[in-house]
Every structure is written in structure tokens, then in C-alpha cells.
Copies of this chain bind each other. A is one copy, B any other.
């Protein structure tokens, strides 16, 4: 097999599919005025509020150079607040505002709507997800199950 061919590498389908799936989210997220990475942060906060920046970064595998400006934009939209932790002033707690919590109601339908766009049944999606998560865990060596 000629390994230098684009079609024979794992990397390209992964990279291209990731962008295509993000593009599927775009029209759905536009209504909430969220970008895709912002949506991921909100998903995390809807699960468990009041997280430190570092916790969000650990979970999403993003560093402060990405998260700090992103969180400032969410703060500008009045979806979250950013407060230094009095017990340790190095840490910044991110907390949902009322508007941020309320936005969850507008987001609940997104996973179902997206799945329709994918044209795959549950079984296929779960199977693919398991493979992706397995490989992801292998690379990060961290089992991030709640």
C-alpha cells in the first residue's frame, strides 16, 4: 500500500469528517448564537456548573490560550460569569448565568436534529463513537468518564 496517498491515511478522513460534522452543527447552533467549541463548553457546564478553567480544559483537551478568549466571549454574551476563587486566587470559576442555564432548553433538540442530518442509525453511531473514544483514551491515557 502506498502510504503517502491521501486516501490511505487515517488522518485526512478524521480531519475532514470532523470539519464536516462541525458544519452540520453550524446552522443549529446559529440560532443559539454559539460556535461549536462554545457549545462544547456549555454542554460541560450544563452537566456540572462552577468549573475552573483548568477543569474545562482537561475535559475538552484545550489550553488557556484557547479557553480564555472563548470564555470571555461567553461572558460578554452574559451566558457565564468569571470569578477568581477566593481560596486560591490563581483559579477562575466559570458559572452559568440564568440566561446560560435557560439556553439549555433551546439546545435539547440539537443532538436529535444532528443525528437526522447524519443519516445513520443509533447502532452505527454508537459503534463509531466507541472506536473514537477508545482511541482517544489511548492517546490521552485518561479515562474521562464522569
Q: Which A residues lie at the B interface, using CB under 8 A?
A: 3-22, 24-25, 36, 40, 43-44, 46-47, 59-61, 104, 107-108, 111-112, 114, 118-120, 125, 127-129, 131-133, 135-136, 138-140, 142, 144-146
Contact = CB atoms under 8 A, between A and B. Distances in A.
Which 7 pairs of residues, A with B, have the shortest CB-CB distance?
Answer: A3-B111, A13-B132, A18-B18, A17-B136, A20-B139, A13-B133, A14-B18
12 contacts: A5-B146, A6-B47, A7-B145, A11-B21, A11-B25, A14-B21, A16-B61, A16-B136, A17-B18, A20-B61, A21-B139, A119-B138
Contact of A4 (B10, B43, B61, B146): B43
A142 B139 CA distance: 31
Q: Is chain A's interface secondary structure helix, strand, loop, or mixed overall?
A: helix
Contacts of A46: 4
B19 A61 contact: yes
Contacts of A108: 3-4
Nearest to A108: B4
A128 B10 contact: yes
B3 A44 contact: no
B15 A22 contact: yes
Contacts of A47: 4-6
Contacts of A19: 61
Contacts of A20: 61, 136, 139-140
